[in-house]
Amino acid sequence: MVLKSLVVLSYTFPNLPIVEVISRFVEQSRTLGRSLRLRAFRQWVRKQIIQT
């Protein structure tokens, strides 16, 4: 699979820094565990939605 372009902003949530956040959570999941980081990611998304 070839990635032709990188989406930096979400059309649905344009105020969320998607690329930075997802890469950070993926990196952390390697050391802390997938379930824990996925739960933390969901909490982060909820918090961001409430603040906007």
Residue 33 belongs to a domain: yes
Residue 43 belongs to a domain: yes
Residue 43 has a pLDDT of 92
Q: How many residues does the chain have?
A: 52
**What global pTM score does this model have?**
0.60
Instruction: In whole angstroms, give the CA distance from residue 37 to residue 29.
Output: 5
Structural domain containing residue 22: 18-51
Residue 51 has a pLDDT of 80
Strand runs labelled E in the chain: none
Residue 24 belongs to a domain: yes
Question: 1-52: per-residue pLDDT in tens?
Answer: 555 566 667 777 777 777 788 888 888 888 888 888 889 889 988 998 888 6
Residue 9 belongs to a domain: no
Q: How many domains does the chain fold into?
A: 1
Instruction: In whole angstroms, give the CA distance from residue 11 to residue 28.
Output: 26
